[in-house]
Amino acid sequence: MKIDLSGRTALITGSTSGIGEATAQALAGAGADVVINGREPDSVAQTAKRLGVGGIAADVGTAEGVAALIEQLADVDILVNNVGIFVTRPVFEISDEEWMRIYEVNVMSGVRLARHYTPRMADRRWGRVIFVSSEAGVQTPADMVHYGMTKTAQLALSRGMAHQVAGTGVTVNSVLPGPTISDGVRRMWAELYPGLEPAEQERRFVAEGRAAGSLLGRLIRPEEVASLIAYVASERSSATTGAALRVDGGLIPTIIP
């Protein structure tokens, strides 16, 4: 199956590393004109140069940052709401400020961007909006309740938005990765398993941590998630909308999310 995104413009938020970077590489490889995004100009410039794509530095976790991005990129055909932050914290120790910051970044970034871009896609009768949610949206992590809450919210958003653009040629979906190797996960491992080699950290995390139920017996690689996103972004997925699509390594122990 060949995925051809020639002539499509794609924006991937939070894409200077991890799943976002892998997605940018996959979509660019399929012919899309890709624009990556991150907060740090140097990181955006370096990643954009490495991948041979465009880049816009903006903090999409703020209304001002979204406005600045939109000013530079008025229209897209594919919007991948990938940006996300997480931190482990006992639920009763999460401050108001931390609740709101994680909600602004993980949820409102996608709300604001989709609110601008999606109606324009509908006017053109084609578009793809993809929320990178998480298996944590279905199985709330006890040590990251605020993160899980935002991922559940993304599922509701994507389903509701899909209804709003029904019959327009625009699809809105979520993908649900399981624990995936990323810079953020590596930083978490450094806190959980200080001093251990990365391979041993992964083994311990799979054996003892949130990935213990994975049917893969390992963490997911960013490019594996990117492959599903590339399919959902393509013409091949035209009958898939309002869906929550798992790429969780079998971690969710149910038939449907």
Q: What is the pairing mode between strands 33-38 and 244-247?
A: unpaired
Q: What is the CA radius of gyration of the chain?
A: 17
**Quick one: three-class SS letters along 113-131?**
HHHHHHHHHHHHCCEEEEE
Residue 130 near residue 118, CB atoms below 8 Å? no
- How far is CA 55 from its chain centroid? 17
Q: Name the β-bridge partners of 127.
A: 170
Listed residue (58, 56, 39, 40) closest to 48, CA to CA: 56
Among the options 103, 117, 147, 231, which is catalytic? 147
User: Annotated catalytic, 103?
Assistant: no
Cβ-defined contacts of 197-203 (< 8 Å, 24+):
none
Question: How far are the Cα atoms of 77, 126, 157, 241 from residue 167, in angstroms, in the given order?
Answer: 16, 10, 18, 10
Instruction: Count the alpha carbons within 13 Å of 210 in the hemisphere toward its beta carbon.
Output: 24
Rounded to whole angstroms, the Cα distance separating 184 from 205 reads: 14
Rounded to whole angstroms, the Cα distance separating 81 from 87 reads: 19
DSSP state of 219: P
* Residues labelled as active-site residues: 147
